[in-house]
Amino acid sequence: MPSFEVPEVVVVRLPLYVRALTTLLAEGSEMVNSQQLGSRLLMTPAQIRKDLSYFGKFGKQGRGYNTRFLLRELRQILALDMEWRACLVGVGRLGRAIINYPGFAPEAFNIVAAFDQDPLRVGTEIGHLTVQGMSELSVTVERRGISIGVVAVPAAQAQEVIERLVSDGVRGILNYAPLAPKAPAGTVIRNIDPVLSLQSMTYYLRDCLGVSSA
């Protein structure tokens, strides 16, 4: 890993490269160049080369990159070559959908525990998990080696839940609640809010559809 700080926007783009390289390898492409990657990701070849340069030299000028090698290197940089254990808090409709989503495990993320404060949900089975009460959070995080918390509770409860996760040693938070939570230094939070994405989309759709502003 580089000894200097990599811009966050570059780190955010690395999973896009991993996804594109995985697809290319499945299609039988043993070599790929920045032009081909750029075409798939709607990015300039220069931007791709600049992003990769933060982490070393992976290809040869005029030949491009060995797809398998570059994919393996980027997965190591993102620490996707190891298992990441996660817990989910909030097993309403969204939480149940997250637990049953099959795409986490192939990418090294394993939801190993689920929690809820509703006594009617505690003890029920969802997928391969038995829902636990919040009183079991601390001991389960330690016993199962959990480092990521997925928060799928209403906005009014999210900050308290996040603070509880952090106090119990969880350092990565994937937050689905519609708020911008506070967390201490050393905690990494990623917020997912589809409504915000839709709202920014309609700004552009207004012009495309000829909708006049008020």
Beta bridge partners of 133: 116
pLDDT tens sequence for the chain (214 residues): 554 589 999 999 999 999 999 999 999 999 999 999 999 999 999 999 999 999 988 866 667 899 999 999 999 999 999 999 999 999 999 999 999 999 998 888 999 999 999 999 999 999 899 999 999 999 999 999 999 999 999 999 999 999 999 999 999 999 999 988 998 889 999 999 888 888 888 888 877 776 666 5
54 shares its domain with 125: no
157 shares its domain with 71: no
| 213 occurs within a structural domain | no
108 shares its domain with 145: yes
72 shares its domain with 104: no
| Interacting residues of 187 by C-beta distance below 8 A, sequence separation 6+ | 166, 171, 172, 173
Task: Sort 90 into a burial class: Cβ within 10 Å, 0-12 / 13-18 / 19+.
Answer: buried
pLDDT of residue 62: 66
Q: What b/e sequence results for 170-202 when a residue is b if at least 16 CB atoms lie within 10 Å of its CB, and e otherwise?
A: bebbbbbbeeebebeeebebebeeeeeeeeeee
89 shares its domain with 180: yes
Domain boundary among 50, 77, 104: 77
Domain count, the chain: 2
pLDDT of residue 214: 59
124 shares its domain with 167: yes
| 204 occurs within a structural domain | no
Give the pair of three-digit tokens for residue 133. Answer: 């009460």
pLDDT of residue 170: 97
Q: Residue 108: which CATH number?
A: 3.40.50.720
- Which single residue is written with the structure tokens 């996660």? 86
Task: Please give the Cα distance from 165 to 173 (Å, whole number).
Answer: 8
Domain span holding position 93: 84-196
37 shares its domain with 112: no
Domain boundary among 25, 51, 77: 77
Task: Sort 111 into a burial class: Cβ within 10 Å, 0-12 / 13-18 / 19+.
Answer: buried
Q: Residue 51: which CATH number?
A: 1.10.10.10
89 shares its domain with 136: yes
Q: What b/e sequence results for 2-27 when a residue is b if at least 16 CB atoms lie within 10 Å of its CB, and e otherwise?
A: eeeeeeeeeeebbebbbebbbebeee
139 shares its domain with 181: yes
Three-state SS letters, 68-99: HHHHHHHHHHCCCCCCEEEEEECCCHHHHHHH
